[in-house]
Amino acid sequence: MRILLVDDEYELVTTLAERMELRGLEADWATSGDDALARITTTSYDVVVIDIKMPKISGIEVKRRMEKIRPGMKYIFMTGHGSEGDFQEGSTEVGGERYYLLKPVAIESLLEKINEVSGH
């Protein structure tokens, strides 16, 4: 399974990618919405895990743009403490609060959601 991790926290996204690789997943990462959008023009991912609050382009906007570029990918949002408004908008965008995760996230829990959303 191929995963794209998008978060402006470099140390978070690289470590999470390494831990996923150790578990047999192919994990790429990007630290900005622009980088992530560039990546999906060349590569398709089963699941994209996106931070909601990122500089310049929000995670929700990144997801909307990705859907236009490459339809069919699945999404999970991961965030620090968002507002009630963020939660409503984010959980609606990914089809339910099950795929709107609050940091810090246990990797087993994240992998369970990834398997669930991707149908693996």
Partner 1 sequence: MWAWDEIGPEGLRFYGKMSASISHEVKNVLAIINENAGLLNDLVMMAERGVAVEPQRLVGIAGTIDKQVRRADLIAKNLNRFAHSADHLQGEVDLAEWVELALALVGRFASNRGIRLEFSPPPATPPVQSAPFFLLNLIWLGLDMAMELAGPDKTVLLQIEVAAGRLGLVYDRLNPLSDNDWDFVTDGHVRSLALLLGANPWQDVKSGRFGFDLPCER
Binding site residues, partner 1, CB under 8 A: 8-9, 11-12, 15-16, 18-19, 22, 53-56, 79-83, 102-107
Give me the least distance between CB of 11 and partner 1, in Å please.
Answer: 5
Q: Which is nearer to partner 1, 22 or 38 (CB)?
A: 22
At 99, which amino acid appears? Answer: Y
Signed CA dihedral, 113, 2, 105, 80: sign only: negative
Rounded CA-CA distance 106/62 in Å is 24
Q: Which is nearer to partner 1, 20 or 73 (CB)?
A: 20
CB 76 within 8 A of CB 50: yes
Q: Which is nearer to partner 1, 26 or 70 (CB)?
A: 26
Give me the least distance between CB of 42 and partner 1, in Å please.
Answer: 25
Give me the least distance between CB of 38 and partner 1, in Å please.
Answer: 17
Measuring CA to CA, how many Å separate 71 from each of 24, 105, 109?
Answer: 25, 27, 25
